[in-house]
Structure 1
Amino acid sequence: MKKIILTGAAGRLGSYLREPLSKLADVLVSTDLAENVGNLYEGESYVRADLTNFDEIKALLKGADMVVHFGAYGDEASFETILGPNIIGAYNIWEAAAQNGVRRVVYASSIHAVGMHSKMDFIGTDAPHRPDTFYGLAKCFSEDLASLYWDKRGVESVCMRILSCAQVTNARALGTWLSYDDLIHLVEQCISTPTTKFTVVYGVSNNDRVPVDNAKASYLGYRPKDNAEQFAKEILAETPPLDHSDPEHMCVGGPFASVELGNSGLATMNIINDTKKS
Structure 2
Amino acid sequence: MKLKKLVLTGAAGRLGSHLREPLSKMCDELLSTDIVDEIGTLYPGESYVKADLASFEQIEPLMAGADMVVHLGAIVDERPFEEMLGPNFVGSYNIWEAGYRHGVRRVVYASSIHAVGMYPKTECIGTDVPHRPDTFYGLAKCFTEDLGRMYWEKRQMESVHLRILSAAQVTNSRALGSWLSYDDLIQLVTRAIDTPVVGFTIVYGVSNNDRAPVDNAKAAFLGYRPKDNAEQFAEEILAAQGPADPMDPGTMCHGGPFASIELGQSLIASMGIIDDRKKT
TM-score, normalised with respect to structure 2: 0.99
> Can you give the 5+ residue segments of structure 2 that lack an aligned partner in the other structure?
none
**1:162 equivalent in structure 2:** 164
**1:87 equivalent in structure 2:** 89
| Residues 150-203 of structure 1, C-alpha deviations (whole Å, 9 max, x = no match) | 011111000000000000000000000000000000000000000000000000
Q: Quick one: which amino acid aligns to residue 271 of structure 1?
A: I
The separation in 2 between residues aligned to 1:117 and 1:269, in whole angstroms, is: 21
Q: Quick one: which amino acid aligns to residue 197 of structure 1?
A: G
Q: Could you tell me which of 82, 100, 103 is aligned with 1:101?
A: 103
Confirm or deny that 1:200 pairs with 2:202. yes
**1:189 equivalent in structure 2:** 191
**2:181 equivalent in structure 1:** 179
The separation in 2 between residues aligned to 1:243 and 1:53, in whole angstroms, is: 44
The separation in 2 between residues aligned to 1:253 and 1:52, in whole angstroms, is: 26
Q: Post-superposition shift, 1:243? A: 0.5
The separation in 2 between residues aligned to 1:246 and 1:268, in whole angstroms, is: 17
**What is the aligned-residue RMSD (CA, Å)?**
0.6
SS at match of 1:271: coil
**1:23 equivalent in structure 2:** 25
| Residues 75-117 of structure 1, C-alpha deviations (whole Å, 9 max, x = no match) | 0000011100000000000001111110000000000000000
SS at match of 1:42: coil
User: Percent identity between the aligned chains?
Assistant: 69
Number of residue pairs matched by the alignment: 278
The separation in 1 between residues aligned to 2:267 and 2:210, in whole angstroms, is: 25
The separation in 2 between residues aligned to 1:170 and 1:102, in whole angstroms, is: 39
Q: Could you tell me which of 258, 275, 278 is aligned with 1:276?
A: 278
SS at match of 1:15: helix
The separation in 2 between residues aligned to 1:267 and 1:113, in whole angstroms, is: 21
**1:216 equivalent in structure 2:** 218
SS at match of 1:2: strand
| Residues 10-37 of structure 1, C-alpha deviations (whole Å, 9 max, x = no match) | 0011000000000000000000001010
**1:41 equivalent in structure 2:** 43
The separation in 2 between residues aligned to 1:204 and 1:93, in whole angstroms, is: 25
TM-score, normalised with respect to structure 1: 0.99
SS at match of 2:161: strand
SS at match of 1:26: strand
The separation in 2 between residues aligned to 1:50 and 1:102, in whole angstroms, is: 19
**2:246 equivalent in structure 1:** 244
Q: Is the 8 A contact 1:105 1:157 kept in 2?
A: yes
